[in-house]
Structure 1
Amino acid sequence: MLCSQGVAAPLMLSSLMLHLTWASLNPGCVKVSDILSCSNLGLEQVPKQLPATAATLDFNHNHLVQLEEGSFAGLPHLVTLRLAHNRLSNLSPGTFRNTSGLRHLDLSSNQLHKVDNYYFQELVSMEELLLFNNQIVRVESNALISLINLRKAYLSHNRLTDFPFFSIQEHSHHFLVTLDLSSNRMPKLPLEDIAALPASVQGGVFLHNNSLICECAMYGMFRQWEQKGFLSVKDYREEHTCLVYGEPRASVQFLEHSRFFENCSIKAQGLLGDAENNLHVIAGDPAVLECQTSLRGQHLIYQWVSPHQEYIAPPGNNNAMRMYANGSLEILEARIEDSGVYWCMVLDRLQSRNETWEVNVTVTMRDHVVEPFNTGFTTLLGCVVSLVLVLMYLYLTPCRCWCRKQPPPATPSPANECSAQSSILTPTPPATTEGPGRKAGNHSIVPDVWTTVSSPP
């Protein structure tokens, strides 16, 4: 016990001396566990000596103008770096050398003018990149190519007039779900490049508050995103504006007021709808969603995303959906709430490629045809019953003249014939009405028949 204490004591003392030495060189910084905060200290450069155990560095709200090459080298555990609200106008080559484990980088609210190709080429583990509220006018075509694990990129509130959508349409960013390009100065959008983006990326592209010129194809794309329930449109509906004839003073909220696009052709509005597969299902029935892909091989990985942003992987989930080896997704018993757009993502890890496929599922209640059948059957049954009653009346009605003895008539007369059929079916009364109990006239044939029958012999 004494020996172990004797060994541990020098190590603790050495660590304490190192911490005191570092603190004396960086007054005002606060270190808690693996977090180092040097925010709001008026620093003009990053301290030369940084603790090797730091996982989070916070240099927000300082006066940093430039970052030197290898400013953050020697920090093997660095995961988060915050450099917001400084005066950085560019990044030197090699700034993030030997920081491949960095996953969260905040460069927002600086004075960056562009995003060059070499800025982030070492950051292969990057997941979240914040570049909003700068002065960026251009993003180079390969600036994000190395960020293969990127999930969220924020470039809003800049001065972008375009963006290289084609650089991420080759399915190089498997995990990208948010690309915020709102509040920039883009007049037109490369709709074909956007259409080539994976469906998971399209659902997270934010383009509101730009200087878009009103045109049918642009309007059709956003209308389709609205129908798919994309949050980028749903949550910022009123902030989607365009300029009529490019006139800055003629801005219109085109999702709220669509009368300017009433003459747009369906073809223009359906620009992104060619790759969709529509599936109609009756509630309660099973449905199989096929995942169509051009990728081939034994190393494909399939995954589905439901309309409720729920990831579904083999063998399925919640006993409501089942996945098969070929990527097909089966809805065991379709419900109304299962309606929406399903995304199938296919990943080929050997070739670092992936593809997506959309299936638009519409679940409706079963149409009941019982009512028309009942109406027809009831009508038919009524006709049969009516016919039976008529036949019974014609042939089974008792006639009293057959049961009573009547004096033979002096002369045969149609009036003395006891026939219910003649009484009912004779359309015109006889011209002569001789006989007992008859009156001359052309009216009341049936009452006269009953009078003759009921008179005593």
Structure 2
Amino acid sequence: MTSSCRLRRWTEIQGTLLLLVGWSLASTCPSSCLCASDLLSCTRAALTEVPDHLPAISVTLDLSHNSLHTLHGNWLAGVPQLHVLRLNHNELKWLLDGAFENATNLRHLDLSSNRLQSIREGHFHLLVSLEELLLYNNYITQVDEASFTRLSNIRKIYLSWNNLTTFSFSSMHNLTHPNLRTLDLSANKFMELPVDDMSAVPAFIKNGLYLHNNPLTCGCALYTLFLQWKQRGFSSVLDFWREHTCLYMGKPRAVVRILESLNGLDNCSSGPGQELADPGLKVLVGRRLLVSCNTSLPKENTTYLWISPAYDFIFPPGTSNQSFRIHPNGSLEIHRAQPWNSGVYLCIAVNRRLSYNTTHEVNVTVHYPKHEVESFNTGLTTLLGCVVSLVLVFIYLYMTPCQCFRCCRKPPQTPSPPQESSAQSSILCGTPPVSEGPNSRKVGASRHVVFLEPIKEGRTEKNPKILQLRSDSDSASSVFSDCPIVQT
């Protein structure tokens, strides 16, 4: 048989096989679905239950935009090669613990836009190959601490647009999710965040930890956390820096952009644009200090190495010298701290089993004890200075000696004429004006004193008391004169 005949024969065999496969798919494909090769699409088919007898060769199963209420156990037993499962836009309210027990090869699971209210530990613990989990736009109020602990290959978890108020960030410690790069918790109901637990989360998770559009309460700890993430260039902050807001004093209408200047949070530990230094540890001279190596790596199969401020290596656990000792858990002990031990210490942790290493810096300050007597003397001196200043002010105001003894003598008082109104005795000073003519009281450049003007004799107004303005030239001597008041 020639080569051309063999090729023609092989083509006929392939065509026959394709026809058989197509006939097999057509015979097993549910009536309300569309089957094409390894794709099974049952979207928008008004389904209330999952169809029976799913094609075994299906790799992608799309059941979105239906009215599914529950997922029965063992329903995926007939599709062992399933990689992609879309269940979004349905009416799912809860999940059975064994709903995905036969989907060990599943990599993408979409449960978004349903009515789920909680995520329990047993829902996804069998999905060891899962890489993407979409749970956004549900009614989830609780996620169990161990819900994702067995998802060792998970890369993306989307939990935005739910009703979460708490989340176990401690479950992300110790490199339990080495491949996780996106954890979306935006647009939930978080009012407070556990800053300490979040600080111990590995940096590669922080880079994709989205927390914007939450009703967070403003505070310096929150401001410092997000500012540190911004300065380290984390995408979770840089991509949505305007959406990172908080409520001032917890009031819903007092919305403040956390990462914007002049937001009321500039008086915290550091202002915008300044590098936030680690406050570090402080110890007195001659005291013992234990410095932890916080690297979020498991203690098993992890080795530690410290570098001193003088760039000297401090050797692995179990070794010691006169000043330092490294404990098996990676902590560095400084026996008797001295001023030259101050500086930044660098811890390097290497886990060979996970092929991963990380570092941690600690700023150590060694200082002498402060004398409390000095601070007391300083405060006492300040207090005495204030008292002396007050005494001098009172002496100046109430005990100023008279410079003119002749003027200080009080002349005999002359009783006012009977026809003179009482307003005549209300003049601030008895110093007569320069002239008494009709044009003598000209308007001054500016008037600052308002007082009672004596009433001319012989006036017959019903109300003899009249408030008038006097010029500055007439009032200056009456206001600032040291002489006693003389009635004319």
TM-based fold match above 0.5: yes
SS in 2 for 1:245: helix
CA contact (8 A) 1:61 1:84 kept: yes
Q: Structure 1's 57 and 198: CA in aligned 2 closer, same or farther, altered over 3 A?
A: same
> Structure 1, residues 254-293: CA drift from partner, whole Å, max 9, x if none?
21244411221259x9999479xxxxxxxxxxxxxxxx99
CA RMSD of aligned residues (A): 3.4
Pair 1:41 & 2:45 matched: yes
**RCO comparison, higher one (Cα < 8 Å, 6+):** 1
Pair 1:248 & 2:252 matched: yes
SS in 1 for 2:227: helix
Q: Mark the runs of 5 or more structure 1 residues left unpaired by the alignment.
A: 276-291, 301-343, 360-457
Partner of 1:71: 75
Pair 1:187 & 2:191 matched: yes
Pair 1:110 & 2:114 matched: yes
Q: 1:119 aligns with which of 104, 120, 123?
A: 123
Query: Partners of 1:222 and 1:129 in 2: how far apart?
Result: 26
SS in 2 for 1:108: coil
Pair 1:216 & 2:212 matched: no
Query: Partners of 1:234 and 1:208 in 2: how far apart?
Result: 11
Pair 1:52 & 2:56 matched: yes
Partner of 2:26: 20
Pair 1:152 & 2:156 matched: yes
Q: Structure 1's 86 and 345: CA in aligned 2 closer, same or farther, altered over 3 A?
A: farther
SS in 1 for 2:217: coil
Task: Report how far residue 17 of structure 1 moved.
Answer: 4.0
Query: Partners of 2:53 and 2:213 in 1: how far apart?
Result: 43
Task: Report how far residue 209 of structure 1 moved.
Answer: 0.4
Query: Partners of 2:258 and 2:126 in 1: how far apart?
Result: 41
Query: Partners of 2:56 and 2:164 in 1: how far apart?
Result: 37
Q: Structure 1's 137 and 3: CA in aligned 2 closer, same or farther, altered over 3 A?
A: same
Task: Report how far residue 32 of structure 1 moved.
Answer: 1.7
Partner of 2:98: 94
The one-letter code of the counterpart of 1:117 is: E
CA contact (8 A) 1:198 1:356 kept: no
CA contact (8 A) 1:221 1:270 kept: no
Q: Structure 1's 223 and 293: CA in aligned 2 closer, same or farther, altered over 3 A?
A: closer
CA contact (8 A) 1:171 1:355 kept: no
CA contact (8 A) 2:186 2:212 kept: yes
Pair 1:32 & 2:36 matched: yes
SS in 2 for 1:144: coil
Query: Partners of 2:187 and 2:296 in 1: how far apart?
Result: 35
Query: Partners of 1:42 and 1:155 in 2: how far apart?
Result: 26
The one-letter code of the counterpart of 1:356 is: T
The one-letter code of the counterpart of 1:88 is: L
Query: Partners of 1:56 and 1:272 in 2: how far apart?
Result: 50
Task: Report how far residue 53 of structure 1 moved.
Answer: 0.8
CA contact (8 A) 1:68 1:92 kept: yes
SS in 1 for 2:216: coil
Query: Partners of 1:129 and 1:345 in 2: how far apart?
Result: 31
Partner of 2:322: none
Q: Structure 1's 353 and 272: CA in aligned 2 closer, same or farther, altered over 3 A?
A: farther
Task: Report how far residue 231 of structure 1 moved.
Answer: 1.3
Task: Report how far residue 243 of structure 1 moved.
Answer: 0.7
Task: Report how far residue 357 of structure 1 moved.
Answer: 2.7
SS in 2 for 1:260: coil
> Structure 1, residues 369-417: CA drift from partner, whole Å, max 9, x if none?
xxxxxxxxxxxxxxxxxxxxxxxxxxxxxxxxxxxxxxxxxxxxxxxxx
CA contact (8 A) 2:174 2:296 kept: no
Q: Structure 1's 242 and 7: CA in aligned 2 closer, same or farther, altered over 3 A?
A: closer
Partner of 2:291: none
CA contact (8 A) 1:93 1:119 kept: yes
Q: Structure 1's 231 and 8: CA in aligned 2 closer, same or farther, altered over 3 A?
A: closer
Task: Report how far residue 131 of structure 1 moved.
Answer: 0.4
Q: Mark the runs of 5 or more structure 2 residues left unpaired by the alignment.
A: 1-5, 281-294, 304-347, 362-488
Q: How does 1:226-375 map to 2 (within 5 A)?
A: 226-266=230-270, 273=278, 346-349=350-353, 356-357=358-359
Task: Report how far residue 80 of structure 1 moved.
Answer: 0.7
The one-letter code of the counterpart of 2:154 is: L
